Structure 1
């Protein structure tokens, strides 16, 4: 049986063309099929919609009233389908990303630039926070994806690694003598340490690794940002544990020095995560694809 929506589409076409035969031609239907559809609609509504004459058909008063509403509704459906197509083609939409300040600055920016250049009509919403905070707002639906430090112990999240990163210790001029030869982790923890706050994923990763070696740490300074770690080390307040890939400007300019270790901290990853239970939008899917394929250059 023909659907109610199809009946209304046929009704609007007949109302516009004022002819069963012309409407049938436009709809690639037979004239009897169009006539039968209109009669079915009239039976269901229990009202006559058209005046039939030898020269064609014309809308009744009731038919004219219905035509205004149905025609508007069908146009809205067309607009809705066009908008869906625009979303699929990435010609409109919004991409909501959760990311920390450090990863945003040293990793994400070139990807945002490349994506915006290719899809300029996609709007960005960037939400900052720690890895744990970002996981929370990801689950609340506030963001589509989150760019975070991996690994995460959360089975509800799909985790896609993007780049390897390495935790290192750096120092300023005062402690430059430490650079002459590798030192042990036991020796490192006896120095004045500058670390991120204990609730950061990066801090926990390093701390867990040291604990696996039977080493506990008690930092002199606990800071809220990676840039502050670099600055505190530069003015010789201690030895900072930083991400090598995000510290290249300081290392290359000789503002800081990498402290060589006899036992290097294993690499970890920066990656993108999203809810397993929720399908990504076309914009988010494309952005994840760009991240995974490493399609732009980033600081190393």
Structure 2
């Protein structure tokens, strides 16, 4: 197949130049080698391709149809090679990232901006889903990368932790007295609780940790977004379990208050997930590098 492709390249150059000798110069070949290539192609196709004239060579009637298709194919190959080189240099292409709403809002935006500024020709496609949905989308190829709260345990998925995150409890002014001194979590959980829905990876992590302590939670309120946890805690509807790193604005302005525990919930991670069986694209590699560089500088 490779030999046949080379023959067609010789064929198209002879047509464009209307000369065996000029085609040979374009291809950095000898004229006898070009002539031999055309003879070989004619033998394989069992047709005559060129007619010799005083001005050079011209296509036979039968070869005109062949040239239309071969020329188009060669052009497409050249375009494909060009696109591949551009992709390697991050000059074109698409990067599909799956991420949750909270991580998008409180973490990812500056890194998307930096990537776009460095590689403006790479089209970004961002899809917001729950962690488990994102993992399934990564496995099906719908996204190149997923930015998720960890832990993720799936044999098909490679996980690269980027930062540590901490689960904490916060309250509004009504429960501010609970922040005066560290308290046992068993005592804290006797108050009305606000948690994410059970399908949430964050909820599952905290719930599993508490079960190791023999504690089973029964939240008064279950919500679908991290922002709502903070809002409900702010208006004193209960004690909310939130991620500290995504709650700094509320904590710094005093809209909610952190409740200190005698023993904190163990930290976990947030990171990038991608398929183990598929090589990362240049754009995916560059985006991961941007995330890593920001936390090692």
Q: Which residue of 1 aligns with 2:57?
A: 57
**How many residues are matched?**
297
Answer whether contact 1:10 1:37 (CA < 8 A) is retained. Answer: yes
**Structure 2 SS opposite 1:124:** strand
In structure 1, distance between residues paired with 2:233 and 2:55: 92
Asked if structure 2 preserves the Cα contact closer than 8 Å seen for 1:110 and 1:296, the reply is no
Provide the rounded CA distance (Å) in 2 between the counterparts of 1:196 and 1:157. 25
Q: Is the 8 A contact 2:167 2:244 kept in 1?
A: yes
Distance 2:287 2:164 in 1: 19
Deviation at 1:265, TM superposition (A): 0.6
Judge conservation of contact 1:135–1:146 (CA < 8 Å) in 2.
yes
Report if aligned partners of 2:165, 2:244 keep a CA contact under 8 Å in 1. Answer: yes
Distance 1:191 1:153 in 2: 32
Tell me the CA shift for residue 53 of structure 1. 4.4
User: Unaligned regions of 5+ residues in structure 2, if any?
Assistant: none
User: Secondary structure of 2:12's partner?
Assistant: helix
- Tell me how far apart the structure 2 counterparts of residues 190 and 88 of structure 1 sit (CA, whole Å): 57
Shift of 1:58: 2.3
Aligned-partner SS, 1:142: coil
Residue of structure 1 equivalent to 2:272: 272
Change (3 A) 1:295 1:57: farther
Call closer, same or farther: CA 1:144–1:261 in 2, change over 3 Å: same
Measured in 2, the distance between the counterparts of 1:270 and 1:123 equals 24
Asked if the contact 2:15/2:59 (under 8 Å) is kept, the reply is yes
8 Å CA contact 1:19–1:57 kept in 2: the answer is yes
TM-score w.r.t. structure 1 length? 0.94
The unaligned stretches of length 5 or more in structure 1 are none
Distance apart, 1:56 and its partner CA: 3.0
- Shift in Å at residue 289 of structure 1? 2.0
User: What's the offset of the Cα at 1:9?
Assistant: 0.8
What is residue 101 of structure 1 aligned with on the other side? Answer: 101
State the secondary structure of the residue aligned to 2:240: strand
Aligned counterpart, 1:140:
140
Q: Which moved more, 1:156-165 or 1:85-94?
A: 85-94
Alpha carbons of structure 1 residues 55 and 237: separation in structure 2 relative to 1, 3 Å: closer
Q: Distance in 1 between matches of 2:8 and 2:136?
A: 46
Q: Report 1:1-300 matches (<5 A).
A: 3-53=3-53, 56-294=56-294
Q: CA deviation at 1:54?
A: 5.9
Within 1, Cα distance between the matches of 2:244 and 2:234?
Answer: 15
Secondary structure of the corresponding residue to residue 153 of structure 2: coil
When the two chains are superposed, the root-mean-square deviation of aligned CA atoms in Å is 1.8
Query: Matches of 1:11 and 1:246 in 2, distance apart?
Result: 63
SS in 2 for 1:289: helix
2:163–2:295 Cα contact (<8 Å) kept: no
In the aligned structure 2, how far is the partner of 1:68 from the partner of 1:120?
Answer: 36
